[in-house]
Amino acid sequence: MESVVYPNHLGIIMDGNGRWAKKRGINRSLGHKAGADNLIKLLNYIYNNTSIKVVSLYAFSTENFKRDKNEVDYLMKLFVTLFNSKLESIKKNNVKVVFSGRRENLPKSVLEAMDKTTDDTKNNTRGILNICLNYGGDYEIVDMAKKIAKQVLDGTLNIEDITKEVVSKNLYQDLPPLDFVIRTSGEKRISNFMIYQSSYAEYDFPDTYFPDFDSKCLEESLDNYRKRDRRFGNAK
């Protein structure tokens, strides 16, 4: 029997919470809550029913701070709840949780919840959940360049020794390249999501808003991934 092919590293751009709420005539905050509730169900499905090892989530971009203050404040409180309680089932699935992004501008309560989650799951081995929070792919490259430049100035790294592996180790997280990225809601852009790690990633843009993107929708996207002929620049 032929084994089912899964991406090793799956990225999800969780888009459409606000439009999901607007369509129902309810507050945007309820859309974000519905998205968070759906996320837990989706992650439990992934880690219990697939062989996907790494999942990267685009939770909050650096540009999202430009949104209405009430919405941003609500999202920060939602993150605290998500990390402190809603992720418990993910932790029990032996998944290591890490974070990518800049810590500056994040409230103390969010930072404390992030640090506790990281510490609680640091020895887990089933897989990795990488949450991109206050994240921008361009900022990640800038911060990586600064880290490498400091090592060169400190004399701990020679310019000639800078390789792709060195670059990867100086990103927010040293993770394998993205294989497949799903952006929900039908928008066809990547919005600065893990641009260094996605050089050969495949993409899928389902029309479903994230709160409605369930395991059936995920499997449909994964079926699309399996139909792709990944050439990595080679002619076939």
pLDDT in tens, the chain (236 residues): 458 999 999 999 999 999 999 999 999 999 999 999 999 999 999 999 999 999 999 999 999 999 999 999 999 999 999 999 999 999 899 999 999 999 999 999 999 999 999 999 999 999 999 999 999 999 999 999 999 999 999 999 999 999 999 999 999 999 999 999 999 999 999 999 999 999 999 999 999 999 999 999 999 999 999 998 766 666 55
The type of residue at 47 is: Y
Domain hosting 132: range is 9-136+176-226
Q: Please confirm, yes or no, whether 161 is among the known catalytic residues.
A: no
The CATH number given to whatever domain includes residue 45 is 3.40.1180.10
Q: Is residue 124 part of a domain?
A: yes
Measured between alpha carbons, how far is 80 from 113 in angstroms, rounded to an integer?
6
Q: Own/partner pairs for 23-29, CB < 8 Å, 24+ apart?
A: 23/209, 28/71, 29/71, 29/74
Pick the catalytic residue: 15, 93, 130, 134? 15
Number of H helices, E strands in the chain: 8, 6
84 is catalytic: no
Q: What is the pTM of this model?
A: 0.95
106 in any annotated domain: yes
Please name which of 224, 231, 233 lies closest in space to residue 203, comparing C-alpha atoms.
Answer: 224
Report the binding-site residues for substrate: 16-20, 28, 32, 61-63, 65, 67, 183, 189-191
Instruction: Report how many domains make up the chain.
Output: 1
Instruction: Exactly one of 8, 44, 64, 84 is catalytic; name it.
Output: 64
Q: Evaluate whether residue 14 is within a structural domain.
A: yes
